[in-house]
């Protein structure tokens, strides 16, 4: 009870007959960070909206901080903070006024709300811009203010829906630092992202969501082992060699984990495992008499992750 902050069982949701979630199960231990990783339209926001009481599920149950999201929404709201995908701060108010407004609505009391706003502005490096209207803020500043707004009542459980999408690398790194500090202070965080790297950097566990269900739920290390830290892509000279290359690699001495064939692109890809593995792979193809036109090592994309995980499932 106390060690599980967020628990979802079989959450389902359809919009106008189109199923969006078809049985999402999640467990987030208190004080840990779960990254919900998925491409556009996979149901990340829908899941977050259900868990934050903004949307009712069609089926399934969920508890957040020990409270049922459907039946005890007020209790849930007092436990959580949400930074939604769409910015939810008031453009026409200043940063300080935004935080004081939310503090007031949490009934902190005037002085406590003002003090809390000041603390958060300092903490999120917004003091210099505190008395400027949010409309004049950069994307990164606005994101930080949004996060600060979710922290007004020091929630134990924080939901961050794609907090770094659209930020430059520096703002992203700054936000990661803040997230790590929140985690160190004992906050439970559910974060959605489209970036494998982000999930890898921050998460204790990664849940990969695809087609409305959790396709994999594991530690970053375990998932990476499955996918490989990088992808080795070989473009062959002739398309008709592709199946033969696949067969040779599967049978050969090299490790063919994550093998994928794409005849149209004349491409054979597999999990990259360092220089020796590359040499063995090229040897196998050479012995089979299959000319290779181009070799590329690239970091795995979400596509690779999904292909890997959904193909395995």
Partner 1 sequence: MSAVGTAARTGTDREPGTSRWTSAGDLRRLVVRALRHEARTPDALIVNIALPVLIMVVFVYVFGGAITTGSSGLTYIDFVVPAVLLMSGGYGAALTAANIATDMTGGMIDRFRTLPVSSWVVPAGHVIASVIRNVVATVIALIAAIALGFRSGATVTEWALVLALVVGYVLALSAIAALWGLFVKSVQAAGALSFIVLFLPYLSDGVVPAETMPSVLRAFAENQPITPMVETLRALLLGLPMGDAGWLTALWLTAGVVISVPVAAVLFRRRTSA
Ligand X SMILES: Nc1ncnc2c1ncn2[C@@H]1O[C@H](COP(=O)(O)OP(=O)(O)OP(=O)(O)O)[C@@H](O)[C@H]1O
Q: Given the rule CB under 6 A, which residues bind ligand X? A: 15-16, 20, 38, 40-46, 85, 194
Part in contact with Mg ion (CB under 5 A); list of ranges 24-32, 42-50, 51-59, 106-114: 42-50
User: Residue 79 or 194: which CB sits closer to ligand X?
Assistant: 194
Part in contact with Mg ion (CB under 5 A); list of ranges 8-16, 77-85, 147-155, 277-285: 77-85
Q: How far apart, in whole angstroms, are the C-alpha atoms of residue 160 and residue 35?
A: 9
**Distances from the Cα of 115 to the Cα of 99, 104, 204, 212, 240, angstroms:** 10, 12, 33, 42, 70
User: Residue 97 or 217: which CB sits closer to partner 1?
Assistant: 97
Q: How far apart, in whole angstroms, are the C-alpha atoms of residue 218 and residue 312?
A: 14
H-only helix segments in 82-219: 95-105, 110-123, 139-150, 169-184, 196-202
Instruction: Find which of ligand X, partner 1, Mg ion, none residue 7 binds, CB within 5 to 8 Å per kind.
Output: none
Check residue 52 for interaction with partner 1 (CB under 8 A).
yes
User: From the list 32, 45, 63, 94, which residue makes contact with Mg ion (rule: CB under 5 A)?
Assistant: 45
**Of residues 60-119, those binding partner 1 (CB under 8 A):** 70, 73-74, 77-78, 80-82, 84, 86-90, 92-93, 97, 101-109, 112-113, 115-116, 119
Instruction: Find which of Mg ion, partner 1, ligand X, none residue 152 binds, CB within 5 to 8 Å per kind.
Output: partner 1
User: From the list 55, 257, 263, 282, which residue makes contact with partner 1 (rule: CB under 8 A)?
Assistant: 55
User: From the list 18, 40, 184, 275, which residue makes contact with partner 1 (rule: CB under 8 A)?
Assistant: 184
Q: How far apart, in whole angstroms, are the C-alpha atoms of residue 129 and residue 106?
A: 23
**Of residues 81-100, those binding Mg ion (CB under 5 A):** 85
**Of residues 141-180, those binding partner 1 (CB under 8 A):** 149, 151-154, 178
Identify the burial level of 131 via C-beta atoms within 10 angstroms of its C-beta, where 0-12 means exposed, 13-18 middle and 19 or more buried.
exposed
Does the CA dihedral 153-157-160-164 come out positive or negative? positive
**Closest C-alpha among 217, 227, 204, 207 to residue 307:** 227
Q: How far apart, in whole angstroms, are the C-alpha atoms of residue 93 and residue 71?
A: 34
Instruction: Find which of partner 1, ligand X, Mg ion, none residue 43 binds, CB within 5 to 8 Å per kind.
Output: ligand X
CA end-to-end span of the chain, whole Å?
30
Question: Minimum CB separation from Mg ion for residue 54, in Å?
Answer: 13
Q: How far apart, in whole angstroms, are the C-alpha atoms of residue 165 and residue 143?
A: 10
Angle at 13 between CA 12 and CA 17, to 5 degrees: 125
Binding site for Mg ion (CB under 5 A): 44-45, 85
Binding site for partner 1 (CB under 8 A): 52-56, 70, 73-74, 77-78, 80-82, 84, 86-90, 92-93, 97, 101-109, 112-113, 115-116, 119-120, 122-123, 133, 149, 151-154, 178, 181-182, 184-187
């Amino acid at each position: 009870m106390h060690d599980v902050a967020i628990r979802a069982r079989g959450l389902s949701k359809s919009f106008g007959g189109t199923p969006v979630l078809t049985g999402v199960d999640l467990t987030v231990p208190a004080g840990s960070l779960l990254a919900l990783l998925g491409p556009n339209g996979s149901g990340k926001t829908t899941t977050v909206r259900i868990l934050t009481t903004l949307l009712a599920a069609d089926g399934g149950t969920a508890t957040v901080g020990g409270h049922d999201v459907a039946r005890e929404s007020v209790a849930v709201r007092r436990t959580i903070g949400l930074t939604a995908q769409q910015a939810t701060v008031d453009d026409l108010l200043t940063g300080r006024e935004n935080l004081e407004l939310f503090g007031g609505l949490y009934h902190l009391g005037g002085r406590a709300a003002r003090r809390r706003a000041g603390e958060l502005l300092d903490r999120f490096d917004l003091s210099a811009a505190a008395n400027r209207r949010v409309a004049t803020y950069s994307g990164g500043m606005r994101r930080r203010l949004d996060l600060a707004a979710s922290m007004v009542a020091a929630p134990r459980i924080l939901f961050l829906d794609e907090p770094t999408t659209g930020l430059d690398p520096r703002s992203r790194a700054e936000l990661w630092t803040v997230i790590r500090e929140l985690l160190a202070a004992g906050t439970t965080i559910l974060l959605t992202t489209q970036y494998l790297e982000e999930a890898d950097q921050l998460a204790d566990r990664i849940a990969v969501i695809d087609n409305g269900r959790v396709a994999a739920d594991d530690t970053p290390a375990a998932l990476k082992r499955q996918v490989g830290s990088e992808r080795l892509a070989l473009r062959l000279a002739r398309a008709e060699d592709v199946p033969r290359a696949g067969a040779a690699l599967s049978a050969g001495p090299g490790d063919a984990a994550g093998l994928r064939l794409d005849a149209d692109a004349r491409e054979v890809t597999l999990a990259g495992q360092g220089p020796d593995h590359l040499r063995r792979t090229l040897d196998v193809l050479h012995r089979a008499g299959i000319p290779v036109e181009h070799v590329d090592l690239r970091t795995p994309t979400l596509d690779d992750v999904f292909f890997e995980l959904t193909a395995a499932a």
